[in-house]
Amino acid sequence: MCSSDLELVRIERVGDDAWASVWSGENLLSSTRVGAWRDDAVLEAIDVNGDGKADVVRRWAEGPEEHAQVWLSDGRAFDEGWAGVTGNTCVAQAEVAKR
């Protein structure tokens, strides 16, 4: 889990999908599918756009290419912000919970 100022984000596996759940205290605010589950993906919660919210970043390699997918948080749910090939490295790690 990764905590920002306003929310707690949990990334978990549900079947073959990855889901990002946003919590406020004991209350589940939303749960958003953030793509197919990849055992080789690094899942991170980090503020990508500087708004103080914990955004979700997934990174994985396909051959020599590094891929990333960014989901932006509004504090209650996530919207896909960007996906593609990148050479950048993120530094914040999120706990990954498998079901």
Confidence tier at 14 by pLDDT (50, 70, 90): very high
| Secondary structure (DSSP) of 76-94 | S-EEEEEEEE---------
Q: Which pLDDT tens digit goes with each residue over 73-92?
A: 887 788 888 888 886 554 44
Domains of the chain: 2-97 (2.40.128)
- pLDDT tens by residue, 52-66: 888 888 898 888 888
How many residues belong to the chain?
Answer: 99
pTM of the model: 0.67
State whether residue 28 is helix, strand or coil: strand
Beta bridge partners of 18: 13
